[in-house]
Structures are given as C-alpha cells and as structure tokens.
Amino acid sequence: MRYPIFLSVAAVCVTALMASSASAQEPKPTAEQAAVDAQLLRVPISGYVIGGKARGAAIANPYENDRTALVQGRMLFDAMNCSGCHAAEGGGGMGPPLSDKDWIYGNSPGNIYLTISQGRPNGMPSFENLGSDSIWKLVTYVRSLSGLHQ
Amino acid sequence: MKALSTLIVFSAAAGMVAAVYGADDLQNASRDDAQWLMPAKNYAGTRFSGLKQIDTGNVGELQVAWEFSTGVLRGHESAPLVVGDTMYVITPYPNFLYALDLKEAGALKWVYKPDPTRAAQGVACCDVVNRGAAYADGKIFLNTLDNYTVAVDAKSGKEVWRTKLGDISKGETMTMAPLVVKDKVLVGNSGGEMGVRGWLTALDAGSGKIAWRAYSTGPDKDVLIGDDFRSPYAKGSDLGVHTWQADQWRTGGGTVWGWLSYDPDADLVYYGTSNPGPWNAAQRPGDNAWTTALFARKPETGMAKWAYQLNPHDLYDYDGVNENVLLDLTIDGKQRKVLAHADRNGFMYIVDRLTGELVSAQPYASVNSISRIDTTTGRPVMVDAKKSEEGKMVRDICPAASGGKDWQPMAYSPQTGLLYVPHNNVCMDMEGMRVGYIAGTPFVGAKVAMKAGPGGYRGAFTAWDPVTAKKVWSIEERFPVWSGALVTAGGVAFYGTLDRWFKAVDAKTGKELWKFRTGAGVIGQPIAFQGPDGKQYVAVLAGPGGWAGAVVAGNLDTKVPYGALGFVNAMKDLGDYTSQGGTLYVFALPTTTTNQAGREPVHQSAR
C-alpha cells in the first residue's frame, strides 16, 4: 500500500473500517440483511412503470433525522474524499452537485444508497466496501445538502 | 530533412493532395502557412501564421464561411489541425476525431470514435477536455481521456495502433496534445489533483511501442537523470525522493498535462510539470522535486539535460505546465536562446533554454503571494502574510490556484517582437485541510473560493515584450481569457472569450478591429490556414468549459462557493452569458472585397 504516513485520524478510522468490511472474514449476511438488500433493489427510481403500479416501495434510512449520524456522515464525506469530487457543501466539480434539485439517479434514501454502494457508469466509483452502516450515514448527510428531509 | 521544399510547393498549390511528411520533416513542414500540423503551429510554439491576406485593414469584414457542430457539450479547448485539404477536429470526451473536407466547405469525410470508458469522466479534475491532436507521417495522434494514445490513418480514419498508458483507478487521465519529434510521439498524464505520479512517455510513432518513460518524482533512474544533467538551482542526487517525507513522492503529482516544445538545433524537448499533491502543503514538507518544474530532455533517450523547479514546496497549486515558447532574442546586447514561460505564479520567466538559467522574471498578472523571483537562487520570495496554511482561511491570495495564466497558450509575433498572453485576473481565499490518499479519488485537501482580482475584471489579453520584460498593452475582459491566442503576419491577433466573442485586435496597439458573436463561450485555440481555393481562413472552436467554465459545462451549483475547486465562486454569473455547446467556426473575407474576385463565395459551395 502506498498510503502516505501522515494520514488524518478520520482517514485512518475509515481505512480501518474499509479493511474490516472488505475482509474475507466478513460474516454471511443475516436473513434480515438479505431482506433489506432485496428490498433495496426494488426501490422505485422514476415513477414510470410499465404494466401497472411499482411493486417496490421507498425504503427508510435507519438514520433518518439522526443528528449524530448527520455529523458522522459529514466526517465520512470529507474522509472518503467525497468532498474532493462533489466539493465542500456539495456544490459539485468533478462530480455533479448534491446541493441542487437535480438528482440524476434519484433522491430517495434508497436511490442514494445504491448510487454510493454500486457506483454509477459515468464516473461515480463504488463505495460498497465502506459497509452499509457508513453508507446510510452518508445518505443522511448527502440529503441534508439540498435541504431534503434528513 | 528530405526534399521538403518540394512538398511545401505542392501543398501551397490549389487542389493539393494530402502530403505525407515523415516525422523528422515536421520542422520544415510546419513553416508552410497553408497548413497547421500541430496545435502550437510549430516546434517553437509561436502560434504565428505568416498569412497576410487578412490584415488590419480588412479584418473588420471577416465573416463565417462555414460551421460544424461537434455534438459534444463540454469544454472545447483543442486546436483544429489542417493537413493538405483536410481539417481534423478533436472533441472533449468522448474524444471524437472528425475529418472535414476543405474543398467542400467542411463536408464530413469521416469520424473516428475511440470509445473511452465512461468512468474516466469521474476522474478528470477540471472538465473532460482535450487540448488537441498532432499530425505526422500520414497519421493523426491523439490521447483519450481514459489513457490511450491512438494513431489514426489521416486518410481513411482507421485506427493504426492504440497503446494504454495509464489507469483511471489510480486517478490518471490524459488531456494534453501529443508532440511528434523524429520517430517518437511524446505524451504526458493528467491527475495532479488525484495523487497521480506524473510522467512524460515516448512512443514509437510507427508501432505505438513505449520507448521510454520519465517520471517527475522519485529516484534519478526513474526521472531519467544521468551524468549529463545540470540543474542551475538544485544540487544533489535523487532529489525526487529526498525532497519529500518517506514515500510521499509516489502520490506527489508532477503530472505532464500541458505543452511540449522542441528545439531541433539543441535537440531538446521542453515541458513543465504540475503541482504537487495534495494542495495542502502542510502534509508534504520539503521542496517536492520535481513538481512545478521545467525540464529539458533529449527526445531519443528521454535523459534530462536540465531542470528548474519554479515553485519549490508549492503552496497554491501553481502548476508549471504552461507552454514554453522558444525565442532567439537580443537581451542586453547579447544573443540569447531563451524560452518564455508565463507561469501560474503570475511571473513571466525568460529562461536560457540551453542551461536552464533564469534571465528575467517579472509579473504579468496581479501577484501578492510572491514579492519577486530571486535571480541567484531561481526561487520565488514568498510573502508570509499570504502563505496558505492548514486549518486557517487565508484571504485574498493573488493569483488564485488557476494562476495568472492557466493552460491557455500565448502566441508570439516576430514582426512585433511581442507575446500575446490570454490570462486570468483571479484571486482566492484558501484553507488547507488534512486529506488521506485513497487511490482513484481526489488528493487535494483544500477549501478554496476564488474571486475577481484587483480592478474587478476577471481576465485580460496582454501584449508583453520579452526583451524589456514589460507589458505593452492589455485588454480587460469580464471573464478569464481561457482561449488560446493566434497572431498573423497581417498584424492581427485573435482570441475568444467565455462571454461568446471571438475577437481580432491590432497586434501593435491592441485596438479592437472586429468581433463575432459565437453560439457559446470560446476556450479553443484559434488557427489560420490557406484553403484549397487560395483564400486565408481563421478557425476556432466554441464550447465553454475547462476549469473556468466548469460551472456551465458541469451544471454546478452557484449557491455554493467551493464548487470546481473554488472556481465556481468567481464564475457564478457565467450562465447568464453562455450555455453549453461545441461548434467549429471558420471565417474568411467576403469574395467581393478581396483579390479573389470572380470566385464562388465559399459558403455557397457547401453541398
């Protein structure tokens, strides 16, 4: 690894966090987690559905309205260099703005979760190895940038 | 140098066929003003055209001969090429290469699509630009955003070879224009904001095989520094390691995303390296060699002859990649072979190009971060009150990270002896922040908000005398002048603006002679050529973007000052002046007012 020796405390924590969640010893997902994953994949994104109503439903962020998670999400936003691409306060740069009303891949908590976790083809990398807990905290912070319900 | 005069006579004649030049004939071929074979026109990088059909007296009558929409919306920084009766235009990502028939008012001959991976868009720091292609030996050479150098058959548009040079998952992209010297294609990487380790690479023009790679940081064996190397202002070996803490040089920047020039007599290639990573200088104690440095190298082997680090331990993202224009000047009664380099730090450096020694350095833009350049040490004398710091917002640093001038290349006229410098007047507030290196993500560590410089305007087009090291005249512009410059033997200098003007001014006085309202802001490099009909044309790409225009190109949020690495704060109103869109404009004089009487107007011959 080529990490410079002067890593910030936050980055060290995140690096450790990435290492643990990405390790081969990761436990098999519980039945509960598997159910959440299945639900996530059916979160509606545009409201445009062929052959009747959407069968999936919006999924709640476990950290919705959680002030502590909001602060942690903001720290992760800097520590994982999200702010490098999307800019401090989400004004955008290499990546699109997160502070405006235009959401390319949907603005519901489930949409944003999947965008962070899977990445997107036009340059958004996958942060799957961050683990679901951290990703939900990022969702809390990202939605707050445009004044959406936290 | 074979039989070039014959080729030039052929190509200057009407109805010419596409001439095939060997790569070692480019020096002579580039003297043919009918064509424009490389973005900077010639190896010296003067962007001077000897054509004079369009002059100060008639340029006011210039009109559109034909246009071409590129189908791409991002920043169009490239220069069109003209080879024989064909024009070649390369676009920003997805890096389309169009061939247009000059005998048919720009009819599309073919388009080559290199299909770069979409994910590369997320790795490019400052819009997904491309600064141009290059012609040699019957091929067009280009770089793709996802790190391929490609050779395309100039006649058929078929790919001849493609070579992968970098990796987007390490943050690398390629945006610069290649330079062909002898049998080698020279290319460099981008990614100084991503902790990329910078390099210049030479490929065999015939096969695409990598001949050598010279890194900007690391041990001398990687930087291709050997026994012949002399550095006038730095002593010691392996400075690319010892001027860093531990192995920070591995993620330390020094990318090569700007301009290359070449002196065939000295047989030296010249270029500059980018900022060190991260921007937060507190995280990288030391001089951080050889970032923000000028290099002179032998093209055959890549071995360095000299290097001169302009901004040791850079505090402000003052890259050293700006163009080096090679000039032979009489300074203080002495004949000097020099290069002129308008650095991001706001100073115009005149450097002896054989030794790397500083001749003079005077500010051409508003500077308060540096009091002067010490001619003994070659180093800037920093102003303490403006030094960037971690955890402290330092206000009103001039120039901003984008520099007194960024990539936008200047021109030089041997008639006036002046440099024509498109540049910025932008300052910034900057706060350093701790940042961790995560491969493939930004390695910046700074909160920046830019603003207009003293006087309230944000850009200028300045004529500069490199002998007296003084400004001759300057035109203030609303926005940073992010386009290249062109100057012609007709005594006219051309440039474009982000608020949708393409302008012609008197090269002697700066008096505005003509302007044309383009469809979108201009950041491209204007060129001049002679068409198969014998008429002189001037061409430029419109299409705003680049770092300065990212707010429009990327639809960024103007309510947040920190977008686009802080440039958004200075460019909030750009969307009031231009939208997106890439269009090529080709201008000529109307048939009735030139000596072309009796000819069909060119715009009517379109099919």
pLDDT digits (tens, 9 = 90+) for B11-60: 344 334 455 666 668 999 999 999 999 999 999 999 999 999 999 999 99
Lowest mean pLDDT among A71-80, B8-17, B70-79, B246-255: B8-17
Amino acid, single-letter form, for residue B446? A
Pairing of strands B48-49, B486-488: parallel
Nearest to A125 among B122, B283, B564 (CB): B122
Asked if A90 reaches chain B (Cβ–Cβ under 8 Å), the answer is yes
Asked if B441 reaches chain A (Cβ–Cβ under 8 Å), the answer is yes
Nearest to A91 among B433, B434, B556 (CB): B556
Asked if B436 reaches chain A (Cβ–Cβ under 8 Å), the answer is yes
User: Are B559 and A91 a contacting pair at CB < 8 A?
Assistant: yes
Closest Cα in chain A, distance from residue B124 (Å): 6
Look at residue B450 and tell me whether its pLDDT is greater than 50. yes
Look at residue B256 and tell me whether its pLDDT is greater than 50. yes
| Domain extents in chain B | 10-605
> pLDDT-based confidence at A35, cuts 50/70/90?
confident
CATH of domain B10-605: 2.140.10.10
Q: Is the pTM of this model over 0.95?
A: no
CA triplet B130, B134, B135: central angle to 5 degrees?
Answer: 150
Phi, psi of B254 (to 5 degrees): 75, 35
Phi, psi of A57 (to 5 degrees): -140, 155
Contacts of A97 in chain B (CB under 8 A): 555-557, 560, 563
> pLDDT-based confidence at B441, cuts 50/70/90?
very high
pLDDT value at position B233? 98
pLDDT digits (tens, 9 = 90+) for B491-509: 999 999 999 999 999 999 9
Report chain B's mean pLDDT, rounded to a whole number.
Answer: 94
Q: How many CB pairs under 8 A join A and B?
A: 130
Asked if A78 reaches chain B (Cβ–Cβ under 8 Å), the answer is yes
pLDDT value at position B377? 97
User: Are B435 and A84 a contacting pair at CB < 8 A?
Assistant: yes
pLDDT value at position B148? 98
Instruction: Give the DSSP H/E element, type plus range, for residue A114.
Output: helix A109-118
User: Are B119 and A123 a contacting pair at CB < 8 A?
Assistant: yes
pLDDT value at position A54? 82
Preferred mutation among B117, B437, B574 to probe A, highest tally of A CBs within 10 A: B437
Look at residue B580 and tell me whether its pLDDT is greater than 70. yes
pLDDT digits (tens, 9 = 90+) for A86-136: 999 999 999 999 999 999 999 999 999 999 999 999 999 999 999 999 999
Q: Which of the residues of B are catalytic? A: 193, 275, 317
CA triplet A49, A51, A54: central angle to 5 degrees?
Answer: 45
ipTM value greater than 0.95 = no
How large is the average pLDDT for residues B148-161? Answer: 98
Contacts of B251 in chain A (CB under 8 A): 2, 4
Nearest to B447 among A88, A96, A99 (CB): A88
Concatenate the DSSP letters of all residues of A15-37 into one string.
HHHHHHHHSTTPPPPPHHHHHHH
pLDDT digits (tens, 9 = 90+) for B87-105: 999 999 999 999 999 999 9
Asked if B45 contacts B37 with a C-beta cutoff of 8 angstroms, the reply is no
Asked if B443 reaches chain A (Cβ–Cβ under 8 Å), the answer is yes
Contacts of B286 in chain A (CB under 8 A): none
